[in-house]
Every structure is written in C-alpha cells, then in structure tokens.
Amino acid sequence: MNPNPNPAPAVRAAGTGPRRLTVAVVGGSLTGPVTALLLLRAGFDVTVYEATPPSAALGGGLISLEHTALDVLDRLDIPQREFVAYDSETIRQVAVRDRQPEQTVLRTYPGRLTTWTLLHRALAARIPAGVLRTGMRVTGLSTHAGRPVLRFAGGHAAEPVDLVVFADGRSSTGRRLLDPDRTLTYAGYVAHRGIATCTPRAGLRDFVRLEPCPGAQFNIAPVPDGCDWTFYLGCSAADYEQRFGGTPLRRVLALPRHVTPAARTHVDEHADHLLPPDHAAVVRATTVRVAAPMLDIDPPTRMVWPVGDGHAVLLGDALAPVRPHTARGANNGIEQAAGLTVALTQHHRYGADLPAALHGWQRRHLPTAVAAVRQGPVIGDKLGLGTR
C-alpha cells in the first residue's frame, strides 16, 4: 500500500539527466559570444563559428544595455567597469531650432551605455581557446544520422550537433535557411556614424539626442578618447547605392572604404544646415565614418525549428533586426540567450522534455521581439524618418 497517495514528482539529481548536448553557435559579434559563455558555464559542449576572418578589423558604435542584460553580464563575471566607460543614466533630448538648442528634456535610462567595441573585447577575452573558429562562413544546414550539420564555404562540414544557434546578425544566413519568407526591406533612411577625437565645446558626459526638424535626428555620447555620433538622414535607395557602392539590402554596413566623398559632403552639409555649430564642427572633424541603412522585416512567428532529431533557433538580430531607436537590439539577443540557457539546463539536469522546453522559451521571448520590430517604424514615423 502506498503511504502517500499523492507523491511529489521525482526530481533527478544534477548530472543524472540526458547526455550533455552539443551546440553550434553561428555568429561571433555579441549575442553569439554571450550565448556561448552562458552555455559553457552551464556545462554544454559549444563551438562558435564566425564568418569574419581573424585578420579583419572589428569595431562598432554605441549600445544601450538595460538592467536585465547587464545582470546577464554580471552572471558571467564581467564587471561593468570593463565595458562601461561613463556611468551616466541621463538622456538629454534637445529640440533644436535655427541651429540653437530651444528646449531640453532630461530622461533617465534604466541601464548603461557601452560600445560594441568595448563589450565585444570583454566577451572575446573570456571565450576559451579552441571554442571560436573564425573565417567559417555558413552556407547550409543538413543532417547526418538524424543530427543537424552545418556546411561551410569551401564544401566542408562541421561535426553533427544537437542544437544550432544562429546569432549571425541582421543579414542572417540562418534566417534565410529557416525562415526564408521573411526578407529585409529598406526603410528609406541611413544612420551615418563616426567617432571623433573632439567633443562639443560645452563638454559631454550624457547621451544627447538632438532633434532639429522632422526627417533628421542626431545622437552623440562620450566614448573613450572622444565621442560617438550618429546622424539619421533620409536617403533613397538609388542615392544610397551611388554614395556607398551597393544597394541597401546588399551593403547593410558601409565601411570607411565604402564612404565616398559625395556621402561625406551630404552629411557635412546637413550638419552645417541643421545642427548647432559646435556639433557640426565635430561632424566635420571626423575622418573615419561608416553608414548603415535602416532595415525592416515582418515580425517573427517562431524562434525554433526541428532539424532531423535536433533543433535550430534564431536569436537577436538574426531573429528580428530592429531599428536602433528601439534600443532593443543587443538587449533582445542577450535576454534570449539567457532564457535559452535556462531551458537547455532544465532539460540536461532534470530530464525536461527538450521540444517543450524550447517552445516554452519561445513563448516567453517571441512577444518582446515582435513588439520591438513593430515599434521601430512607429518611432521613425514620429521623427519623420523613412517610409512605411
């Protein structure tokens, strides 16, 4: 006779669940390394594949991280002082008329600002030797003996794994393979960006957003050894191709070598016409510049796909690239990576059904990604930027 007619469900002790999963992470920017570090800490076998060769110069601009994302980095024992140079939480939103500040509204951001360069450096320093493989451009996804297999340029393939995590950015190969009906569209304006070694005469400590008129926005914030600025300006697809040597959908990031004199002149003239003189001077003094077309995509309807007996998932910009105004790009990716680690850990430690765990993860994170995709065009419309 059972002395307890309603016994509690049995709980497996740690380490007695299913065999340890092997995971391939595609993408070595920010979301990919965060995912890899979280999974390595949780005891999984992880390999990261990055298409960029090791000799390529890497760098990037401002990133805003909310407290939820910062907490994930805390759990990876990455101290904020390593990637946050200025601890201001203030956003100065300045209305500009006739090139002069007219009204300033102060807002408090629930997080911290960093740069892609600082955060990537902190993450890359913690990836164990042998985990990251660079110069590995994914071209396909197949199966072998029921398990997912990545295929690369040159015709070679990786070892079979249990899970493929695509965190390969807004031009994601993974999205093209798993969700091919969702394609990028050009939103009709460009983020011109530069890092200057000088700052406005009034000094700079906070993130400052200048709004000179509908159809333009200028953001500037301090970074080590200078300031980082972004100037959003309208641009037709034909003008983009002329100024940067490729269409917006093919050249999703115009590197310094792609920025023509005509593109530079276009930005300088708008700075002289719209911005306060000291901010325009910062723009003109910036020698190295990049540009990124603003791109949209239909909201995702899923994050998880079966691949043979295994699975593949999309994270961050690979799942749903968002406009920078939403400040959700890096946050979405980091939060999704943390949630994925939780789901996989419950499977490994306690034998939780893996498909159910992955779909539970999807159910929790998909609505946030959808909301951010939809929010971008709304913000752009309010600023008079781009076309629906």
pLDDT score for 57: 63
C-alpha gyration radius of the chain = 23
Q: What is the dihedral of CA 333, 334, 340, 341, to 10 degrees?
A: 150
Domains by residue range for the chain, with CATH: 22-82+116-183+297-382 (3.50.50.60), 185-295 (3.30.9.60)
Distance between CA atoms of 338 and 106, rounded to whole angstroms?
Answer: 32
pLDDT at residue 1 is higher than 70 = no
pLDDT score for 247: 97
How many residues are present in the chain?
Answer: 388
CB-count exposure of residue 100 (10 Å: 0-12, 13-18, 19+)? exposed
Q: Which residue has the higher pLDDT, 371 or 15?
A: 371
pLDDT at residue 54 is higher than 80 = no
Average pLDDT over residues 118-127: 96
pLDDT at residue 2 is higher than 80 = no
Tell me the C-alpha to C-alpha distance, in Å, between residue 370 and each of 302, 316, 318, 320, 334: 10, 11, 13, 8, 16
Residue 43 DSSP one-character state? T
Q: What is the pLDDT of residues 337-359, one digit of tens each?
A: 999 999 999 999 999 999 999 99
Distance between CA atoms of 119 and 115, rounded to whole angstroms?
Answer: 6
pLDDT at residue 14 is higher than 60 = no
pLDDT at residue 19 is higher than 80 = no
Is the entire prediction scored with pTM above 0.85? yes
Q: What is the pLDDT of residues 269-326, one digit of tens each?
A: 999 999 999 999 999 999 999 999 999 999 999 999 999 999 999 999 999 999 999 9
Q: Which residue has the higher pLDDT, 202 or 384?
A: 384
Distance between CA atoms of 73 and 127, rounded to whole angstroms?
Answer: 14
Q: What is the pLDDT of residues 373-387, one digit of tens each?
A: 999 999 999 999 987
pLDDT more than 90, % of the chain: 88
Residue 21 DSSP one-character state? P
Q: What is the pLDDT of residues 249-284, one digit of tens each?
A: 999 999 999 999 999 999 999 999 999 999 999 999
Structure tokens at 112: 């911290």
The identity of residue 375, as a single letter, is Q
Q: What is the pLDDT of residues 166-183, one digit of tens each?
A: 999 999 999 999 999 999
Average pLDDT over residues 196-217: 89
